[in-house]
Amino acid sequence: CGRCLQCRTGNSHICKNTRIIGVDRDGAFAEYIAMPATNVLPLDGVPTTVGAIMDPMGNAFHAVLSAEIQGSSVFVVGCGPIGCFAVGIARAAGAAKVIASDVNAKRLSLARRMGAHVTINAATDDVVRTVLDETGGEGADLVCEMSGVPSALHQAFAAVRLGGRVQLLGIPKGEVPVDFASEIIFKGITVYGVIGRKMYETWHQMRRYLTTGLLDPRPVITHQFPLAKIDEALAAIRAGDAGKIILEIA
Ligand SMILES: [Zn+2]
């Protein structure tokens, strides 16, 4: 809105008057939408397939780059598309070790293609034990929780090191009990809620990572369909194995 306290202090991603396109008003599946001019940015040579996924990728940039990454250990919980982007961004930004977990083997292989050094299958492996083993017993400097699954949220707090940082992006379906004393206070950690993108910092960072080749997010694009086959595209999403799906408009 440009006028509220948040907008005036450089935090327009948490503007109280925000109307999210696709949430508060019709979005990408509408026949026509009026896009606010401030939301339009030139692709500057970024391929349109990548341009099509820059919206969720911006959330991953916000989640990763609002923490200190260089030389750090990063644990990404949940390897959906945004989790996989976060893996690639953490690698590109200079993380020393990137660990990723999910319950889906296909998603874990995507995370490996995006640069994860270590992947953990949360359905079969001891997640917290593995993160501790991979970080010299300390836990990860930074944990990005991308799933919103209650068991994974607890793993995020258990796997972060004392004094570390947890970025919460995954949205739980309901209330999740938290032991504030042992999971947060006594560990001296910082918890950050990731909503939207930092306007416009995240956009410019993302565009530079893409145009300079620091980050190639294309492994996350697993399917492409013509618009007429949208039902097949939605079925692929529901099957749970897809990364990002591109609809081609001829
Ligand atoms: Zn505002």
> Could you state, in order of their start, the residue ranges of all structural domains in the chain?
1-37, 54-193
**What spacing in Å lies between the alpha carbon of 53 and ligand 1's midpoint?**
25
Which two structure tokens, joined as six digits, stand for 78? 């949940």
**What pLDDT is stored for residue 200 in this prediction?**
85
CA of 167 to the centre of ligand 1 (A): 23
CATH topology of domain 54-193: Rossmann fold (3.40.50)
Q: Is 168 in contact with 192 (CB distance < 8 Å)?
A: yes
Instruction: DSSP letter for 183, please.
Output: I
Look up the ipTM and state it.
Answer: 0.99
Q: Under 8 Å CB-to-CB from 50, ≥6 apart: which residues?
A: 210, 217, 218
Task: Give yes or no for a contact between 91 and 68, defined as CB atoms under 8 angstroms apart.
Answer: no
CA–centroid distance, residue 173 to ligand 1 (Å) = 27
Residue 17 C-alpha to ligand 1 middle, in angstroms? 5
pLDDT tens, the chain, 250 aa long = 889 999 999 999 999 998 888 889 888 788 898 888 988 888 889 999 999 999 999 999 999 999 999 999 999 999 999 999 999 999 999 999 999 999 999 999 999 999 999 999 999 999 999 999 999 999 999 999 999 999 999 999 999 999 999 999 999 999 999 999 999 999 999 999 999 888 888 999 999 999 999 999 999 999 999 999 999 999 999 998 799 999 998 7
Q: How far is the CA of 12 from the centre of ligand 1 (A)?
A: 6
pLDDT at 20: 86
Alpha carbon distance 223, 211 (integer Å): 23
Cβ contacts of 168 within 8 Å, gap of 6 or more:
145, 153, 156, 191, 192, 193, 194
CA–CA separation, 68 vs 63, rounded Å?
Answer: 11
CA dist., res. 182 & res. 159, Å (int) = 13
Q: How many CB atoms lie within 10 A of CB 123?
A: 11
Question: Residue 8 C-alpha to ligand 1 middle, in angstroms?
Answer: 7
Q: Are 110 and 217 in contact (CB under 8 A)?
A: no
**Contact yes or no for 59/84 (Cβ under 8 A):** no
Report which of 5, 10, 3 is spatially closest to residue 200, judged by C-alpha positions. Answer: 10
User: Could you give the 3-state DSSP secondary structure of residue 161?
Assistant: strand
CB count in 10 Å sphere of residue 141: 22
